[in-house]
Amino acid sequence: MTAPDLDQSRPNGSLHPYGEGELFGKGKHLLSVSQFDRPTLVDLFTLADTVAPIAQRQLGRGDRQLATGQTVCSVLDGAVLGSLFFEPSTRTRLSFESAFLRLGGEVTTTTGFTFSSMAKGESIEDTSRVVSGYSDVLVVRHPDEGSVAQFAAASVVPVINAGDGAGEHPSQALLDLYTLEKELGQRGGTVDGSTIAVVGDLRHGRTVHSLLKLLTVYRDVSVRLFAPESLELPDETARHLTSAGHRLTVCDTVVEALRGADAVYTTRVQRERITGEVPASIQGNLIDRSVLAEADALDIVIMHPLPRDSRHDAYDLSSDVDDLPGLAIFHQTDNGVNVRMAIFLTALGCSPEMVRVTTKQRPWDATLHWNR
């Protein structure tokens, strides 16, 4: 085994800060989706497949067969995750923590702005160096763009970015893409060569930007966009996609975007940001059963980063689509667990083989989980 890329000139023994173009791997921070090329992504998703039975307590997907015993793993026996949420994000935190626990590790949790030391003038570097000494890997969420990278630069253990304000949220984009691959794969398709509708607020949605960025490692994707007025995709993100050889079509209606697409990725419009009268263009539902029927897309793969706004007139994905066969929104959250398991295993240098030899069946909860 070789040593990670450590900067020996740094007095506190910090890991080498993440540099542009550095791919994600053993001993690396995960700060941005730009740390993935196609082979890196394939490796991560292979690992995610390996651990899926551990995450989902089941023998397989889609076959509606119930497990006869729980599949549990102890590969991270003795490892400690420091889960540091400087702003609340309960579901992201629980998904990361559950992922780590299901690999046999242990978790310490800090939520809210409770770093009283920071209020006393402590630098983010001092905080990072101290708490990284208590853990084997850190997950950090922070409201300010760039602050997770700053935190990572002083850490002695790998740091996983769980969202830094308007910045990145790489694990979300990874689980979105992983789910897209699985859903299309179950229908005999692939992401390469597919047609994806992306609708909703394309301007502010961090998850949309990261997903589209990550799509550039695929080939021949047709992306069909629809956004209400003034919520269009930024030109820079669009150029990024077209320069990777993908086709980009801007549509006038959501129905037009949906027609012929293999999957739709929906994001909610943050109506709480709108002051004054709500324009008619963002009232009602963004997508519901009737819109899908009109686009002849009742069997389309339906994705959403969640939460979705279920209040009346919220201009989001309606719950009247919940019994359609392509509903994948809860597959996304379920898959988030094994994708994050794969992230931890990669950063900590664990191979699929290590996972296999530390996995066993346990008697409890033998037939409880529905084969989602």
Please give the residues from 339 up to 358 whose contact with a second copy meets the rule CB under 8 A: 345, 347-350, 354
Nearer to a second copy, 20 or 353 (CB): 353
Q: How far is the CB of 38 from a second copy (least distance, A)?
A: 25
Q: What's the rounded Cα separation, in Å, for the pair 263 and 258?
A: 8
Q: Using CB under 8 A, pick the residue from 37, 38, 91, 296 that binds a second copy.
A: 91
- The answer to whether residue 120 forms part of the interface with a second copy (CB under 8 A) is yes
Q: How far is the CB of 134 from a second copy (least distance, A)?
A: 4
Q: What's the rounded Cα separation, in Å, for the pair 82 and 63?
A: 36
Q: Choose one: 154-162, 194-202, 223-231, 274-282; the region binding a second copy (CB under 8 A).
A: 154-162
Q: Using CB under 8 A, pick the residue from 31, 48, 136, 167 that binds a second copy.
A: 136
Nearer to a second copy, 102 or 224 (CB): 102
Count of helices and strands (H, E) across the chain: 12, 11
Nearer to a second copy, 209 or 340 (CB): 340
Q: Choose one: 35-43, 74-82, 255-263, 290-298; the region binding a second copy (CB under 8 A).
A: 74-82
Q: What's the rounded Cα separation, in Å, for the pair 258 and 372?
A: 26
Binding residues among 238-297 for a second copy as defined by CB under 8 A: 268, 272
Q: How far is the CB of 221 from a second copy (least distance, A)?
A: 27
- The answer to whether residue 364 forms part of the interface with a second copy (CB under 8 A) is yes
Nearer to a second copy, 194 or 338 (CB): 338
CB atoms within 10 A of CB 362: 11
* CA end-to-end span of the chain: 39
Binding residues among 185-204 for a second copy as defined by CB under 8 A: none
Q: How far is the CB of 297 from a second copy (least distance, A)?
A: 17
Tell me the per-residue interface mask from 10 to 29 with a second copy, x by CB under 8 A, - otherwise: -xxxxx----------xx--
Ramachandran region of residue 177, left (φ > 0), alpha (ψ -120 to 50) or beta?
alpha
Which residue intervals of the chain are DSSP H helices?
38-56, 90-102, 116-119, 124-132, 147-153, 170-186, 206-215, 235-243, 254-258, 289-294, 329-347, 352-357
Ramachandran region of residue 245, left (φ > 0), alpha (ψ -120 to 50) or beta?
left
Contact assessment for residue 84 and residue 139, using Cβ atoms and an 8 Å cutoff:
yes
Q: Choose one: 94-102, 162-170, 176-184, 258-266; the region binding a second copy (CB under 8 A).
A: 94-102
Q: DSSP class of residue 188? A: T
- The answer to whether residue 75 forms part of the interface with a second copy (CB under 8 A) is yes
Q: How far is the CB of 273 from a second copy (least distance, A)?
A: 12
Phi, psi angle pair for 209, to nearest 5°: -60, -45
CB atoms within 10 A of CB 93: 20
Q: Tokens representing 24?
A: 């994600």
